[in-house]
Amino acid sequence: VSDVTESLRQSAELERAKSEAEAAARAKSLFLANMSHEIRTPLNAVIGMTTLLLDTPMSDDQHDFARTIHASGEALLEIINDILDYSKADVGKLELERQPFDLRRVVEESLDLVTPRALEKSLNLAYQIEEGTPEALIGDAVRLRQILTNLLSNAVKFTHQGEVFASIESERAEGSMQRLHIAVEDTGIGIAADQLPRLFQSFTQVDASTTRKYGGTGLGLAIVKRLAELMGGTMWAESAGPGQGSTFRFTIAAPRADAEPAQATLSGL
């Protein structure tokens, strides 16, 4: 017979420390989510008013100043949106829509957003949706576009010559479910093998010089991977090494819109 009082006390202590740590982490994320929301409201006013200001008569200098305020406001808003998404995902509050959408349109809209930057850098930008892929699907088009835009703009950002190519393939899953395999491939700076798994951790960039040279917060990939997971898929990156380009791949599961008994089911979603 042995006395287990001490080991029981220790495990109770551990349990308590663990739940305290979890509560603290949740409180931190909730605080971040609330703060970013509070910050967005006045920031939207700054951006909105600057847009109006830009349409009023001003000297060239004044116009330049106002344009800088506008661009910085937009950049700040993007960072805050990332932080908001990240903290929401962290406390499990990121919710997805379930609405019919057109896959090709989502892909084209995402490409449209990065086209100006790709043109500036003389990069080729192309996409292919494999024949037979159902394009009428049900899911969260806005969040899917967010994933694609993020991967595409990273690809454009880290590529100095060559091309960025998006491809979509699909396979049938159970019932009316479709599994999509989406890849964004670039001929850019590439990624060292030991960095590949780290990219998807929050606040992680390949190295400190990345921040100096390319900017960014290191939150984008952590968020979009989480989104892909919420859509029933996953995300990973492949690269043959520095200078060899990179491919970011993700999967999602989505029901085909035409396979749903239209109105009746949709209204209940």
The contact set with ligand ADP (CB under 6 A) reads 154-155, 158, 186, 188-189, 191, 199, 205-206, 210, 216-221, 246
| Nearest residue (CB) to ligand ADP, 180 versus 189 | 189
Continuous H helices in the chain: 5-54, 60-90, 103-120, 141-157, 208-214, 220-230, 262-267
3-state secondary structure of 5: helix
Cβ 214 to ligand ADP shortest distance, Å: 6
The SS3 assignment for 172 reads: strand
Min separation Cβ 198 and ligand ADP, Å: 9
CA distance 5 to 209: 53
**Cβ nearer to ligand ADP, comparing 75 with 262:** 75
In the bound state with ligand ADP, the residue whose beta carbon lies nearer, of 138 and 199, is 199
C-alpha to C-alpha distance for 150 and 221, rounded to whole angstroms: 8
**Shortest separation between residue 219's beta carbon and ligand ADP, angstroms:** 6
Torsional class of 237: left (φ above 0), alpha (ψ -120 to 50), beta (otherwise):
beta
Of 147 and 155, CB closest to ligand ADP: 155
Q: In whole angstroms, how close is the CB of 149 to ligand ADP at the nearest point?
A: 11
